[in-house]
Structure 1
């Protein structure tokens, strides 16, 4: 992976919209719930700053944040059309014939020939496409600007269970349950879950290869959560795995919430 100048300043949300470790439905893996309405894409108070960071990464290390296998192109193009349609009903977006005006006032050129790169400049979410191959789902493409200790370049082309092999506590039992979950996703019935991690730094771009471990210092000042949504595309039948990353200061939580988070991380 290429070296890149680190993110120069924190990009933080003012608060977490949901505390997954505080809700028994989401505290344990896989912790999946149905999406309400069309709430599978979101814009929050860190939109402008996150989008600027996404643009910086796409320019600086495109081979680390974007991948699309030839067999994944039909799904990527279908997702492109679905997202643009969804944006017509999201506050702050103005969809033109050749451009989209974003909520932060930035205009983005539309390019269906580069579907994931284009969407990566419109959405806070990272977008990963999983497609059925035999009895498993395989990663055929993605735009991943904010990885939390994994590498798109290393994982693209792999099956779902292989992607998660080194991750604890993603054991064989959980892996099989998640594969069954992917098999059961229905068109028009997206699902979501949310994970939770503590970090000592605020970097959004944290790629790591298998075997590499992020430092675990004693003091953790940031809480990082990913709201992950799963959406079945109707034509290609691919599954979209969309990841909205939140990073907040630990001090935005109460003492009781921090105590519960520490307990949850021990299990």
Structure 2
């Protein structure tokens, strides 16, 4: 399998009513994000001054979606968004609109804005990253952000650039990314030597053009499951082994499979 086959964009049309997937565990995510920001500060949440209008637009659109499409979990109460056990201030004068609305959802939120021919990361609330670090990517164009991914700039960068140029506000999209990690840390950026059982990490990602400012809101929702839980899904672990073995060597190293070699050998011996 070639890099171009493995490194596919994997985009699918997204029903706007499903923009954010509902989650009854909102207090958990609220506490998680506050704790991570208290520990890491601007390394998980930062924004450029010029991103403020796009942040406000993103907050307004997300709040409208949550109240309209998930009324069992959200309701508007003046400048606050009631999330059940807690409320977040999303008033127009909030100095950090993207951070504020991120406290109402499980997803991480990132804003991409055009500068010249590229899109640049201008604001982010990123409390559940995998191994990448926001401080290394902030205010960088996508070509630089994705540079460490083997084969990306050669195989996908032109396609991604064309896609973002033509992304329409009425046609949001979603895609899924996956990986493996030891332990259940949501914020895995510092977990290179983490201990614990092997987990399957799935990221549901959406891209939504903000019609007013033209920015693109990129959402990332993380799902973590112990690898053993996939035994309940017929053929899932066999398919996972096949996907791992299909990764080109450089991409496998980027995903950290080389650090999990003993676990993966056990997995192959059991399910292949």
Give the TM bin, normalised by the shorter chain. Answer: 0.7 to 0.9
TM-score normalised to structure 2 length: 0.80
Q: Secondary structure at the match of 1:196?
A: strand
Greater Cα radius of gyration, structure 1 or 2: 2
Match of 2:64 among 45, 68, 85: 85
Does the 8 Å contact 2:59/2:97 carry over to 1?
A: yes
Match of 2:75 among 75, 88, 94: 94
5 Å-filtered alignment, 1:155-234, equals 155-168=137-150, 170-207=152-189, 214-215=192-193, 221-234=198-211
Give the deviation of 1:215 after TM superposition: 4.8
Does the 8 Å contact 2:7/2:155 carry over to 1?
A: no
Partners of 1:198 and 1:45 lie apart in 2 by: 25
5 Å-filtered alignment, 1:31-180, equals 31-44=10-23, 46-89=25-68, 90=70, 91-103=72-84, 105-111=85-91, 112-168=94-150, 170-180=152-162
Give the deviation of 1:94 after TM superposition: 1.6
Partners of 1:168 and 1:102 lie apart in 2 by: 41
Q: CA RMSD in A?
A: 2.3
Give the deviation of 1:169 after TM superposition: 5.0
Gaps of 5+ in 1: 1-25
Partners of 1:119 and 1:45 lie apart in 2 by: 17
Partners of 2:105 and 2:128 lie apart in 1 by: 12
Q: Secondary structure at the match of 1:260?
A: helix
Partners of 2:19 and 2:30 lie apart in 1 by: 18
Partners of 2:227 and 2:177 lie apart in 1 by: 15
Partners of 1:250 and 1:168 lie apart in 2 by: 26
Distance 1:43 1:170, change over 3 A: same
Match of 1:260 among 229, 239, 242: 239
Q: Secondary structure at the match of 2:17?
A: coil
Partners of 2:194 and 2:103 lie apart in 1 by: 32
Partners of 1:179 and 1:220 lie apart in 2 by: 38
Partners of 1:152 and 1:181 lie apart in 2 by: 23
Q: Secondary structure at the match of 1:154?
A: helix
TM-score normalised to structure 1 length: 0.81
Give the deviation of 1:239 after TM superposition: 0.6
Does the 8 Å contact 2:198/2:226 carry over to 1?
A: yes
Gaps of 5+ in 2: 248-272
Does the 8 Å contact 2:59/2:90 carry over to 1?
A: no
Partners of 2:162 and 2:243 lie apart in 1 by: 25
Does the 8 Å contact 1:100/1:108 carry over to 2?
A: yes
Does the 8 Å contact 1:226/1:245 carry over to 2?
A: yes
Partners of 1:124 and 1:235 lie apart in 2 by: 25
Greater relative contact order structure (CA < 8 Å, 6+ sep)? 1
Distance 1:216 1:52, change over 3 A: closer
